[in-house]
Structure 1
């Protein structure tokens, strides 16, 4: 299989702390350093959250601006993707960083259960976030926690609310949401091929399932996500020493399946993103 595999590194998220793993980057400077190492290891997309000084989640546009500036300086060409997830803020605060015009932003198009609460994505908020992304030229990455989210993303792509080439990420292994199930994964892939054959797809697994979804996605011709947001360990006994270590593990999976790892330029071409400069 000669199609390049895009590796996304989710560096921080909103949940993992330094108590879980000291390598989790919290400050902007830590995040820039961690992304640079991951970029050099083979990641083409940086999926970014920001934190307050005490480690709690934040949606502060000023922090996102400093992070974007640092990544553009130290990781030239890398695709910068901001999170609009609901753990970092509520309502319009979730899209407050979109005027910074990152290359991409995550977009959850439906609600589902999370470990201890409902992850609410009401239709009016989804439509507003999608509208802001159109206004500022930000490409959505659809985070699909359920089959209905794939169908909704396709509908929004067809009616123009999500323009351009659709990019859908299957998220599996969140407690109380979609479990890691190979039949479901295969059906997701077939659904994408049937409803949106020109689209690109990616897969992310949570916790110990990260490596499983990396393997499935790479072998099936998709793209994949790794990083300390989703998983802080290399195995049951070993904490991951860095985001870059998880990226390198994913690169090894690509090599195992004879998949070339996408450069930042190839990733931009595959996703229909403008070249920098």
Structure 2
């Protein structure tokens, strides 16, 4: 395969703590340093959450602004993707950072079960987040925790609620949601191609021990891959990951294995039809 592979690094998330792994970057300065290392290792998208002074997830636009500014300064060309996820706030506070005009933002278009709760994405909130992304020229990454989310993204694209052809990320391995199932994964790819075209880029993310499994499936199938300490704090059962960069390097090794080049930031922006850096 000759098509470049985009590597997304999910640097922090809402849940991992330094008790889970001391390498988890919590403060904005830690996040910038960790992302810079991952960028140099081959990541070209940073999926970003921010934390408050107590290390708890927040949607504070000022903290997102500081992170975005630092990443753009120290990682020129990097695609900055901000999270609108539900662990960081409620209702429209989840989209309070969209006026910052990041390159991308996550968009979950439906609800599903999480390990201990329901991840609620009511239709009116989804529509509002999508409208804010259109207003501020932010490309959504559709986080598909279920097949219905891919179909909903197609409907939103057809009726104009999503402006550009969706970039869908399959999320597998969340407890009580979609497990890491190869037949389902292959059907996801088939569905994306049927709905959006054979040349549509897509991504996959695996949670916990399923991270490397989904990395392998995605790279070998011609898709793009997400890694990072948000989703998995270990290299293996007995070994903590030393950094986000260490997890990125595992994906780079898979790209070498399957003879795929790692996408540069310029190539990643072209593949995703993003505005210039």
TM-score scaled to structure 2, two decimals?
0.99
**What does 1:213-252 correspond to in 2, within 5 Å?**
213-252=214-253
Question: 2: CA distance between counterparts of 1:165 and 1:243?
Answer: 29
Question: 2: CA distance between counterparts of 1:265 and 1:150?
Answer: 27
Partners of 1:165 and 1:200 within 8 A in 2: no
1:72 Cα offset (Å): 0.5
1:158 Cα offset (Å): 1.4
SS at match of 1:269: helix
Question: 1: CA distance between counterparts of 2:267 and 2:61?
Answer: 29
Question: 1: CA distance between counterparts of 2:128 and 2:44?
Answer: 28
Runs of 4+ in 1 over 4 A off after TM superposition: none
1:38 Cα offset (Å): 0.3
SS at match of 1:105: strand
Map of 1:149 onto structure 2: 149
Map of 1:258 onto structure 2: 259
Question: 1: CA distance between counterparts of 2:261 and 2:76?
Answer: 20
SS at match of 1:273: coil
Map of 2:70 onto structure 1: 70
Question: 1: CA distance between counterparts of 2:193 and 2:235?
Answer: 32
Partners of 2:9 and 2:226 within 8 A in 1: yes
Partners of 2:169 and 2:202 within 8 A in 1: yes
Mean CA deviation greater in 159-168 or 240-249 = 159-168
- 1:99 equivalent to 2:99? Answer yes
1:165 Cα offset (Å): 2.6
1:4 Cα offset (Å): 0.4
Question: 2: CA distance between counterparts of 1:130 and 1:171?
Answer: 20
Question: 2: CA distance between counterparts of 1:22 and 1:53?
Answer: 17
Map of 1:168 onto structure 2: 168
Map of 1:6 onto structure 2: 6
Q: For 1:58-104, what per-residue CA distance to the aligned partner results, in whole angstroms no more than 9, with x for missing partners?
A: 11000000000000100000000000000000000000000000000
Q: For 1:201-252, what per-residue CA distance to the aligned partner results, in whole angstroms no more than 9, with x for missing partners?
A: 1000000000000000000000010000000000001000000000011100
Map of 2:90 onto structure 1: 90
1:54 Cα offset (Å): 1.3
Question: 1: CA distance between counterparts of 2:158 and 2:4?
Answer: 26
Partners of 2:83 and 2:105 within 8 A in 1: yes
Unaligned stretches of 5+ residues in structure 2: none
Map of 1:267 onto structure 2: 268
- 1:138 equivalent to 2:142? Answer no
Partners of 1:170 and 1:202 within 8 A in 2: yes
1:199 Cα offset (Å): 2.5
SS at match of 2:105: strand
Map of 1:22 onto structure 2: 22
SS at match of 2:53: coil
Question: 1: CA distance between counterparts of 2:103 and 2:38?
Answer: 18
Partners of 1:81 and 1:105 within 8 A in 2: yes
